[in-house]
């Protein structure tokens, strides 16, 4: 996912949409409920998430796992500097406690948890794509060659995913509302038609809250030769 290439307004939307996720991590680290208006920890968590957007690339693995680590480590640094919380711990559902300043252990734990969820998401997406006569394998065989094209298509899909009428049209007609997309994004018809399946799949993923981990990768690939 080329997060750093998102336009400023889309970066802001991404952060706003993940404020609940950021809040949850910060509360777990701090071991208490936090208040956006009063607790510095939440400001630090937001800054860490934004830094993750600036520094993330695919070599760092899953985007959400990466932001998780950066937020927790930023809070740990804050606690160490303020000397207010000498031993910070968090608990998962099985009630086992892990020291979050052990980066390697944290990353390994997150990967294990991530793999289970990712498998379920891929299964659900594959099932949904059947409605559009597409398969998950079709999407990983080809991709826009140029990074600028991928970034452009990502921003087009991001904007469309926030428009209820466009989503409703796609669900009902099983295709893109090309004219509406052109008007919304000021994109020419040739580009939309050329990458219509790629854009369609991106919109399906971005508009579905159940595809959390797939969203964080966004290396779905549909090429111009697909019809």
Q: What is the pLDDT of residues 199-223, one digit of tens each?
A: 998 899 999 888 877 777 664 433 3
Q: Which two tokens stand for residue 94?
A: 């099985």
- Identify the bridge partners of residue 221 per DSSP, sorted by sequence position: 140
CA 61, CA 151: separation in Å to the nearest integer? 19
Q: How confident is the model at residue 151, as a pLDDT?
A: 85
Cβ-contact 49, 63 below 8 angstroms? no
Tokens 């466009």, located at residue: 166
Higher pLDDT, 28 or 220: 28
Higher pLDDT residue, 143 or 132? Answer: 132
| Half-sphere exposure of residue 143: CA atoms within 13 angstroms, side-chain side | 15
- Write down the mean pLDDT value for the chain: 78
CA-based nearest residue to 3, from 48, 80, 58, 46: 58
Q: Does the pLDDT of residue 89 top 70, yes or no?
A: no
Per-residue pLDDT, averaged over 31-36, amounts to 87
Instruction: Indicate the CATH number of 3-101 among 1.10.1740.10, 1.10.10.10, 2.60.120.10, 1.10.3210.10.
Output: 1.10.1740.10
Residue 87 has pLDDT above 90, yes or no: no
92 or 47, higher pLDDT? 47
Is the pLDDT reported for residue 115 higher than 80?
no
> Quick one: pLDDT band at residue 59, thresholds 50, 70, 90?
confident
For the cut 60, the answer to whether the pLDDT of residue 124 exceeds it is: yes
Q: Per-domain residue ranges for the chain?
A: 3-101, 129-217
Q: Residue 207: name the closest of 9, 199, 227 by CA.
A: 199
Let me know how many helices (H) and strands (E) the chain has, helices first.
12, 2
Strand partners for 140: 221
Higher pLDDT, 227 or 78: 78
d(CA 227, CA 175) in angstroms, rounded, equals 12
Tell me which residue has tokens 């071991």: 31
Sign of CA dihedral 7, 9, 10, 15: positive
Both tokens assigned to 58? 């695919």
Q: Are 26 and 41 in contact (CB under 8 A)?
A: yes
- Mean pLDDT in residue range 133-160: 80
- Work out the average pLDDT over 117-142: 79
Confidence at residue 58, expressed as pLDDT on a 0 to 100 scale: 76
Minimal CA–CA distance to 180: which of 190, 166, 170? 166
Looking at the chain, the whole-number percentage of residues with pLDDT higher than 70 is 73
Answer yes or no: are the C-beta atoms of 217 and 63 closer than 8 Å. Answer: yes
The number of CA neighbours under 13 Å toward the Cβ of 96 is: 4
How high is the pLDDT of residue 172? Answer: 94
> The tokens of 96 are what?
């086992």
Q: What pTM did the predictor assign?
A: 0.52
User: Which of 6-15, 45-54, 74-83, 212-221 shows the lowest per-residue confidence on average (mean pLDDT)?
Assistant: 212-221
Q: What is the rounded end-to-end Cα distance, in angstroms, of the chain? A: 24
Q: CA angle, corner 193, sides to 188 and 197, nearest 5? A: 130
């Amino acid at each position: 996912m080329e997060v750093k290439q998102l336009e400023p307004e889309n970066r802001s939307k991404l952060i706003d949409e993940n404020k609940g996720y950021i809040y949850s991590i910060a509360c777990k680290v701090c071991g208490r409920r936090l208040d956006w208006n009063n607790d510095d920890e939440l400001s630090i968590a937001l800054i860490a998430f934004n830094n993750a957007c600036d520094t993330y690339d695919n070599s760092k693995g899953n985007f959400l796992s990466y932001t998780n680590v950066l937020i927790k480590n930023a809070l740990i640094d804050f606690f160490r500097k303020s000397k207010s919380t000498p031993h910070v711990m968090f608990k998962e559902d099985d009630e086992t406690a892990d020291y979050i300043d052990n980066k390697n252990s944290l990353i390994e734990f997150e990967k294990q948890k991530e793999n289970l969820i990712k498998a379920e998401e891929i299964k659900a997406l594959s099932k949904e794509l059947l409605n559009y006569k597409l398969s998950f394998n079709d999407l990983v065989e080809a991709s826009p060659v140029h990074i600028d094209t991928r970034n452009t298509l990502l921003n087009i899909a991001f904007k469309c995913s926030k428009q209820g009428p466009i989503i409703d049209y796609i669900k009902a007609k099983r295709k893109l509302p090309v004219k509406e997309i052109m008007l919304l994004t000021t994109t020419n018809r040739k580009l939309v038609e050329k990458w219509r399946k790629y854009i369609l799949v991106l919109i399906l993923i971005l508009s579905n809250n159940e595809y959390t981990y797939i969203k964080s990768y966004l290396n779905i690939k549909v090429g111009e030769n697909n019809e």
